[in-house]
Structure 1
Amino acid sequence: MADTNYFSEEEKLEEANEGFRSGVFVELKAYCLELLQLLQFPKKRSSSIHSLFELLRKTPTTSLQHCFDYVLFPLLLLLDAAVVDRSQQKVDSGENSMMSVSHELPHRVSDCVAEGVLQCLEELLKKCRLGSVEQMVVVLKKLTCGALLSPLEASEEFREGIIKCFKAIFMNLYPCPNDACSCKQISGSPALAENREFQGHLDVLSEESKPNECLLEFLRSETASAAVGHWLSLLLKAADIEAARGHHGSSKLRIEAFMTLRILVAKVGTADALAFFLPGVVSQFSKVLRASKTTLSGAAGNTEATNQAIRGLAEYLMIVLEDDANKSSLVMFMDFQSEIIMEKGKKAQYILEELRQLPNKVRGGSIMVEECSSAEVAKKTTYESGSKEKMSADYLKGNNSFHVDRTKEWVAQTSTHVDKLLRATFPYICLHLVKKVRLGILAAIKGLLSRCSCTLKESRSMLLECLCTLAIDESEDVSFTAQEFLEYLFGITGNHQLQHDIAKIFVRLVEKLPNVVLGTDEKFALSHARQLLVVAYYSGPQLIIDHLIHSPVTAVRFLDVFAVCLNQNSVYACSIGKFLSARPSSLGYLHSLTELKVGTNFISDCISIMNTASPAVSELTMVQKKDMQQRNHVLPRMPPWFNGIGNQKLYEALGGVLRLVGLSLASDSKGEGSLSVTIDIPLGNLQKLVSELRKNEYSEENWEYWYRRTGSGQLVRQASTAVCILNEMIFGVSEYSVDYFSSTFQRARMHRKVTSDYESVTTNEASWKVPLEKVRAQLIDCIGRVLHEYLSPEIWDLPTQHKSSPMHSAGEDDISLHFFRDTAMLHQVIIEGIGIFSMCLGKYFSSCGFLHSSLYLLLENLISSNAEVRSTSDAILHVLSSSSGYPTVRNLVLENADYVIDSICRQLRHLDLNSHVPNVLAAILSYIGIAHEILPLLEEPMHKVSSELEILGRHQHPNLTGPFLKAVAEIARVSKHESNSLPSKAASYTSHVKSLISNGEKQAGGVSRSCHDDDINISSLESEWENILFKLNDSRRYRRTVGSIAGSCIVTAIPLLASQNQATCFVALDIVEYGVAALAKVEEAYKHEKDIKEAIEETLHSHSFYRLLDTLDVSEEASDENRLLPAMNKIWPFLVACIQNKNPVKSMQPL
């Protein structure tokens, strides 16, 4: 019963399907009859064609296959009529020119009808399969005739429809069910297809719809060789025509032509069938790729078309030049090469004889890309009707000449010609601006290296270089994929050929680096540097050690290469346009001249400083306003002179190589101390400069003579370059450098965990994981020696502006500004080096004493006359505070204030040599903002400043009066600020002490205790009062220090109240104002302390604490009682003189 129901349901379903098919056939029949009527009664438009297209689109494949022949017949008739109609020509025998008649007479099949027919035919071929070889031949013959039409004969839509029909036929060619058929040997789809762009429309076919013979087998047979070659030529020619038409060309048609060609090549799929056509196909593809280098618009510059062309070329080469397909020829060739290598040392004469027998010249055809008009394109692509008839008759005639024997000679010659074409195009395409094109070239490189690495052995190094370029691409999609494939290649065990190729690439890249970097093409310079970086990273540290640093000679040669690339002289190697654009404008240049004069007139700066509520050093205001610039000051950064050569990306690549060199040397377990030995090479340039400066100091030559001496300016520039190299190499041995390389090259590994590609790959990640604890001692030793040279006083005595040096000032006005600029850049990179060293060592930078020796130097350069040096010093101070574990620069300087003040006091004793010290002191007090916290330490430098501002001191150093007044004004302001809190603190402490005394008296009047308890209470009470005395004495000492400093400020500024200089007078008045206010607060605090002292004395007498009374008496000083009145007595005469100067502006402030 169940079987009966099953068969009944199946019969009902079959009847329903049959009914649906009958209905579809009825509709199709009506439309087909209307199509046949269009042949007899032409119309410009026909609604039946559009209706037929909609019916074909919505009808299932199973229902449409039964009507395939019925619908195909009228469509082919109309197509044939349209092609014949547009192919009719008349020949002008006199001028031998061809003119299309289609523009003079109306077509029998209009463009609208012809394009609609092709749409219907495309939809039909997408959903239905051809039933036999004969049927396929007929359809392809009709389409081929249509494909021969030129742009003047047929519309763009018509020609595009023809190619889409080709595409539909080839895409729906599937392997036959016969397992013994040769069609099973190929995949049938393009090897480099993206997603589902080439997936056919026929997923499941019924048995009756399958052809009786294998169409794929016929397509790759010798019988169809001529037709396949003709189709390849037609598709390439169609794409070439659209490119030649310029902006009138169709990008869509060009894309469809390349996609159709890729499908055709994949369906043919064998080297035997395609090898004969390789020269023509490759030359046409190379023509497309060459045009894409210079053409950015129009059909020739379309990025999708370029992408399809790249993939099509690679797929063709992957089939014809596949290693497995040419295995026999490759084995013979490899054996021949191995014999030569084995006999290399024994039979040199034989090898020379063999080389002499080689051809002297390899002649290859050159492909010229022509630009022609649409009319010229039409003439080139229009054929006579007679030739078309002959082609139709012999369309699929077999020809044995379309086959080549792929011998070793053929493989060698072909690979040589292909290598020339690839080298002329692939490196340029790797730098294409569009990501899709770079993804296409990456897919092509992967395919060629995977399948043709032996056949294309001459191109292997070039392909690897291109792959390295793409490994650091701007797009993550490109870089991830390239890095994955690189890790796959390096992870293959026993790949000695790859290691040999990489070693040769590495050496060649290093040798060519200066010529490329100093050339005019920035893109290729960046590509070259990135290739070197990627090769160095993926090859591991041993490659660098074996090929570059294995001996002192090679190490010197390698570092010389980078010295040439980074040298300041190379700034003039760029193009004149870039050099001029890099120069500042005239307004900027005048501003830079003004900057050179900063610091020469400090008195004029005081006017603007002292009118503000919080005084600051004028040179520092520009630095403080560059907070955003400081946040972006990432170390190591590009040296200031490198802007003329390249850009930040180029320097990052070059610096990355130097970092890898430093990391390789540190990880070299065989050569102990190799980092120190290699660092001595660039350090020698700095030592040579210091030696020359010392000779100059002993000979007392002026700077002009020294700079104009042959090679002196070059020494400064070489030292700057050496500092830059040293900074990068040492930075490589840091956790920051390791993290940088991990983030750059190991993101692909994280990405692969998601995509699960190349799961079995083993990477060289561990080779760069150097335990920094083991190399820290070596690193500290290197940094110590380098920092010793960085801090040489001879380097910092080099002038950065006119008369900025205390020595040899005569003749400095004639010094070229280049000298000052070179010196400023040297100082800048040295300061950055200090920051880099602190990042490498972290807290060890302070524990090793490097922080104490370099902190004052950075504070000194906060008042440098060069704005860039000031900005760099400020940024590096923030770096030091962060790396040393301090939250701010203020905390950094405060914790090391004793070292800083000692340095200031030491330099104050020799003002003739250290005229900048007053500005440094002012910078520390105002910019850092820690004056109130280090006020007790300022007493000694304040006494020295006071003596310098006396009459004798001002006479000896008149130019230092202004800077000293800045420092005194800041100290006076801080003294006033600190004195404001003294009375309130003293009053609070007085109340606290009196409350303790009162509580003690209440407890003493209570119940008596045992003697033992009394002894314990007396001992604890004495300890408690001892602590109170300590706090009182500390408070008194701090009050006295504030009073002493305020008094010293007043004494210093009093004589200058009578100055005729307005700025000096204003500063002195402010200092006096701050000092008087501070002394008033100090005396008020003294009164409270006096009350505390009297109460404590009474209490100590009552408890018989005589030892504590002696301590209290020792700390007493009579000068505490009155400071303000003597100061006012000194101020008054000079204040009267100030008023008597009859300057109303100055008289208003004291009144």
Structure 2
Amino acid sequence: MEDRAANENLNLSVTTDRDELEEETLSRVFSQLKPYCLDILQLVQNPKSKANSVSELYQFLRETPSQYLQPFFDYALFPMLLLLDAAVGCRNPQNVDSGGKFGMPNMSNMTHSISDSVAEVGLLCLEELLRKCHLGSVNQMVVVLKKLTYGALLSPSDAAEEFRERIVKCLRALLLSLQHCSGKSCSCKDIIEVPTFLDSHTSENTHTTCLNYRTEADKCLLAFLQSENASAAVGHWLSLLLKIADTEVARGHRGSSKLRVEAFFTLRLLVSKVGTADALAFFLPGVVSQFAKVFHLSKTMISGAAGSTDSIDQAVRGLSEFLTIVLEDEANISGLSMSVNDITGLYPNNDNSTQSFLERLRHLSGNAPDLHGKISGSSNDQAGGVVTLRSDFKEKNCSTSNVNMGSLQVSRTKDWIGETSIHVDKLLSTTFPHLCVHPAKKVRRGLIEAIRGLLLKCRYTLKKSRLMLLECLCVLVCDDFEEVSVAAQELLDSFFILSEKHLIDSEISEIFNRLIQKLPKVVLGNDKTFALSHAQQLLAVMYYAGPQLVVNHLLQSPVTAAHFLDAIAQCLNQNSVYAGSLEKFILKKPVSVGYLHSIAELKAGPRLEVFKTRSSQENKLQDLVEAVCQDYLVPQMPPWFFYVGSEKLYETLAGILRLVGLSTMADTRSGVSLSVIIDIPLSYLRKLISEVQMKGYSKESWQSWYTRSTSGQLLRQASTAVCVLNEIIYGLSDQSINLYARKFCLSRMNGKDMQEHVWNVCQKDAKEHLANCIGSILHEYLSPELWDLPVGQKASILEMDNEAGNMKLHFFRDTEMLQQETSYTLLHI
């Protein structure tokens, strides 16, 4: 007993000593803080006196721990707000209120000006204080927001760039200091305190100093931000931050990209702190339209604040975060007329506990106070755990039914969601495809995170945009940077491989139809970057959809297969030379358009051009070895395709054909045979052979035969058919299978390469069937009619018919192209 009493006395003594030390430290902090505050008050009255005190105060605030500053937060805040009032007032007196004041007495009578250096350091002090301390009441937060609002209204002609940037950073510090309260039923628990899609750089800006010394405010500040009373202030700050960012663009090259980035990031932070669809839905049209302006400017301006990579990245992430809050499926169950299980079943990571269910139930009842919805269901529904929300939706225009007069909140009815999703889809469809090919890796990486959030959280509200988002993701899967491609592959894996695959066959079919229909027009167009991205979309969709879906949607019937192969043939046809740029055409034919290249020049031409344009940093000897090795690679890019695009575009189109051939051998359940597919391009060769035979029977001259309207086209179609056949057959080789396995299987989901195994040849008689198909192709390739076609003016067959000198050079060129493509295969089999 005596030992226990002794220990208690010892603990009490230690606690007493600790309290005394704490009080002594607080007393010392206050004694140091007080002179600085008095100096600032004097500085406001006489700006020329003791200006150094502000810098000393900033150093003191940085060195003092937060737990020792919090007790004196009000004491330190008052002079800083006075200094901010004075700095703003002397820069733009028009910002004073109707009484000629800033809310502080005697401020309108001040005639002295606060210098830029003093004002900026004063804002540094305010930022540091807000970062380390928390606000004590709603009124205090309102006062600080009001003071910062006056500063944010200053134009570039009124205040320096650094001053306006510090105003935004003070707001950021204030928002970061807002934390969840201790109330278990408070609405602040429904939000995430930081932006959802943070990268490694911006996550550092969300760090706040841990507050060990803390007392609860009289009212939860986050809950106040979500309330209707704060809607006007929230909307005003959203407008101000977007205006600040837009102002820097209007300044041209003088604009600050740093301030623009800071404004966008602070806006993201404000949206995350408000965090509810009810509080933000009213502002969706204005916010979305401003972000649309940002993306539109990024297409035309590649420098300055508008072309800043960081600002575009922040805008992409900010737009997606705003949309995922306002248009989240779970937040709009009443407007979607869906059950809770239909929505929450899409998210396997959600907690299905009773507590989670009650939280969702409470959230539903709070989301639609004006709809008088009733949660009801049949006995069967209750037994199965299905809860639905029944509401009487009024089929009226949004302007009359969705907005309450005098209110800044909207009722998110079925009509409102439908009209909003249409407008959002228009914005996303005109901006996201272009962002997929943005030259900055950071923008493309941020776009993946944006697509991830929209696909996972807005699957039903943005149903119209889902296919477009998946198409964008397919472009990013083929990105040159592994960091981007792996992230995109991981996201696609969750849709095409894992159990949460919710894409139905009709949607896959629609994606195929959209991509195939536009492919020839895009490839033969002027924008080669967009052409490459479009082809990569189709290639990635085919690979991730798997051989079964490829066969079902592209090859199931001879008609659909012919339509698909015709679309690819249009992209590879020799007529595509007219779609190339004039520079390429002149570069390729420096002597004259009618000059006939030798076979050696035709073979070496594209490779020599690629060799010339390669980076000078690469080893030249290695490049030479690679160029020589290209002679032994089959198949190769046809010479005429040089006018259309790069080898990268051809490799993508070739990959599509390779997967077509492989899908017929990898899917054992399909009734589609490879021989049926190759018969489609073989028909052009057979038709040409038949036409040449008919010419021989009728003893028609070559000139007469070629001058027919269809003969020249038939020669070119046969050349394209040979190119298509070579790629289809090559797709069945181990080299091709491994190539696309490495390309699309960088992401290892659960340690298994499931998609790679799907594309393996699995038919028992595959070798025999493949041999028969190759035999059919070689039979046509070796037809003497193909090799009897004349390739020059001195061809013996022309001299025998006395036609030398009468033939057009285009005929020899078409013939040479055909024989060259055919010889590539024959020489390497």
TM superposition score normalised by structure 1: 0.60
Pairing of 1:447-486 with structure 2 (within 5 A):
447-486=453-492
Point out the structure with max Rg over C-alpha.
1
Q: Which residue number corresponds to residue 783 of structure 2?
A: 792
Q: Which residue number corresponds to residue 536 of structure 1?
A: 542
Distance 1:463 1:515 in 2: 21
| Deviation of 1:797 (Å) | 2.7
Match of 1:770 among 748, 751, 761: 761
Q: 1:6 to 1:774 in 2, by over 3 A?
A: farther
Distance 1:90 1:780 in 2: 84
Q: Which residue number corresponds to residue 830 of structure 1?
A: 822
Match of 1:8 among 5, 13, 17: 13
Distance 1:651 1:564 in 2: 13
Q: Which residue number corresponds to residue 563 of structure 1?
A: 569
Match of 1:168 among 167, 173, 179: 173
Distance 1:585 1:142 in 2: 70
Q: Which residue number corresponds to residue 817 of structure 1?
A: 809
Q: Which residue number corresponds to residue 197 of structure 2?
A: 192
| Deviation of 1:786 (Å) | 0.4
Cα offsets for 1:504-554 (capped at 9, x unmatched) = 111221122222222222122112111111111111122222222222222
Pairing of 1:453-852 with structure 2 (within 5 A):
453-493=459-499, 495-575=501-581, 577-586=582-591, 592=597, 628-633=626-631, 634-670=633-669, 674-749=673-748, 753=751, 763-771=754-762, 774-808=765-799, 810-834=802-826
Q: Which residue number corresponds to residue 147 of structure 1?
A: 152
Cα offsets for 1:828-848 (capped at 9, x unmatched) = 2212233xxxxxxxxxxxxxx
Q: 1:16 to 1:647 in 2, by over 3 A?
A: same
Distance 1:318 1:728 in 2: 43
Q: Which residue number corresponds to residue 23 of structure 2?
A: 18
Q: Which amino acid aligns with 2:182?
A: P
Distance 1:407 1:595 in 2: 69
2:41 is the alignment partner of 1:36: yes
Q: 1:672 to 1:58 in 2, by over 3 A?
A: same
SS of equivalent to 1:747: coil
CA contact (8 A) 1:61 1:128 kept: yes
The structure in which a higher percent of residues are helix is 1
| Deviation of 1:111 (Å) | 1.1
Q: Which amino acid aligns with 1:649?
A: K
Q: 1:507 to 1:292 in 2, by over 3 A?
A: same
Distance 2:745 2:713 in 1: 41
| Deviation of 1:226 (Å) | 0.7
2:328 is the alignment partner of 1:322: yes
What 5-or-longer segments of structure 1 have no aligned partner? Answer: 92-104, 335-357, 364-397, 598-624, 754-760, 835-857, 859-875, 881-1151
Distance 2:475 2:280 in 1: 31
Q: 1:475 to 1:594 in 2, by over 3 A?
A: closer
Q: Which amino acid aligns with 1:747?
A: L
Distance 1:667 1:736 in 2: 16
Match of 1:269 among 263, 267, 275: 275
Task: Between 139-148 and 17-26, report the one with greater CA deviation.
Answer: 17-26
| Deviation of 1:411 (Å) | 0.7
Q: 1:195 to 1:593 in 2, by over 3 A?
A: closer
Q: Which residue number corresponds to residue 52 of structure 2?
A: 47
Distance 2:201 2:427 in 1: 30
CA contact (8 A) 1:44 1:113 kept: no
Q: Which residue number corresponds to residue 406 of structure 1?
A: 412
Q: 1:419 to 1:671 in 2, by over 3 A?
A: closer
Pairing of 1:22-171 with structure 2 (within 5 A):
22-43=27-48, 46-88=51-93, 108-171=113-176
SS of equivalent to 2:331: coil
| Deviation of 1:419 (Å) | 1.0
Distance 1:665 1:258 in 2: 50
| Deviation of 1:732 (Å) | 1.5
Distance 2:331 2:217 in 1: 29
CA contact (8 A) 1:487 1:763 kept: no
| Deviation of 1:5 (Å) | 3.6
Cα offsets for 1:231-255 (capped at 9, x unmatched) = 1111111111111111111111111
| Deviation of 1:639 (Å) | 1.4
> Identity rate of aligned residues, in percent?
53
Q: Which amino acid aligns with 1:331?
A: S
Q: 1:459 to 1:681 in 2, by over 3 A?
A: same
Pairing of 1:921-940 with structure 2 (within 5 A):
none
Q: Which amino acid aligns with 1:812?
A: A
Distance 1:310 1:44 in 2: 47
Distance 1:274 1:362 in 2: 16
SS of equivalent to 1:64: helix
Q: Which amino acid aligns with 2:759?
A: W
CA contact (8 A) 1:31 1:49 kept: yes
| Deviation of 1:299 (Å) | 0.4
Cα offsets for 1:104-130 (capped at 9, x unmatched) = x99611111111111111111111111
Q: 1:679 to 1:362 in 2, by over 3 A?
A: farther
Q: Which residue number corresponds to residue 616 of structure 1?
A: none
Distance 2:671 2:244 in 1: 66
SS of equivalent to 1:401: coil
Task: Between 703-712 and 776-785, report the one with greater CA deviation.
Answer: 703-712
Cα offsets for 1:6-65 (capped at 9, x unmatched) = 443444444334333333322222222221221222139922222221221121111221
TM superposition score normalised by structure 2: 0.83
What 5-or-longer segments of structure 2 have no aligned partner? Answer: 1-5, 97-109, 341-394, 603-622
CA contact (8 A) 2:668 2:762 kept: no
Q: Which residue number corresponds to residue 299 of structure 1?
A: 305
CA contact (8 A) 2:745 2:753 kept: no
Q: 1:498 to 1:43 in 2, by over 3 A?
A: farther
SS of equivalent to 2:589: coil
Q: Which amino acid aligns with 1:419?
A: D
Q: Which amino acid aligns with 2:151?
A: G
CA contact (8 A) 2:787 2:819 kept: yes
Distance 1:626 1:47 in 2: 67
Q: Which residue number corresponds to residue 183 of structure 1?
A: 188
Q: Which amino acid aligns with 2:158?
A: E
Cα offsets for 1:853-879 (capped at 9, x unmatched) = xxxxx4xxxxxxxxxxxxxxxxx4xxx
Q: Which amino acid aligns with 1:480?
A: V
CA contact (8 A) 1:488 1:762 kept: no
SS of equivalent to 2:789: coil
Q: Which residue number corresponds to residue 229 of structure 1?
A: 235
| Deviation of 1:500 (Å) | 2.8
Match of 1:331 among 310, 326, 337: 337
Q: Which amino acid aligns with 1:794?
A: E
Distance 2:655 2:717 in 1: 20
| Deviation of 1:632 (Å) | 3.3
RMSD between aligned residues: 3.1
CA contact (8 A) 1:129 1:209 kept: no
| Number of aligned residue pairs | 731
Task: Between 789-798 and 109-118, report the one with greater CA deviation.
Answer: 789-798
| Deviation of 1:769 (Å) | 1.9
Pairing of 1:373-392 with structure 2 (within 5 A):
none
| Deviation of 1:196 (Å) | 6.8
Distance 1:90 1:528 in 2: 52
Distance 1:22 1:494 in 2: 60
Q: Which amino acid aligns with 2:297?
A: A
Q: Which residue number corresponds to residue 448 of structure 2?
A: 442
| Deviation of 1:595 (Å) | 8.3
Q: Which amino acid aligns with 1:49?
A: V
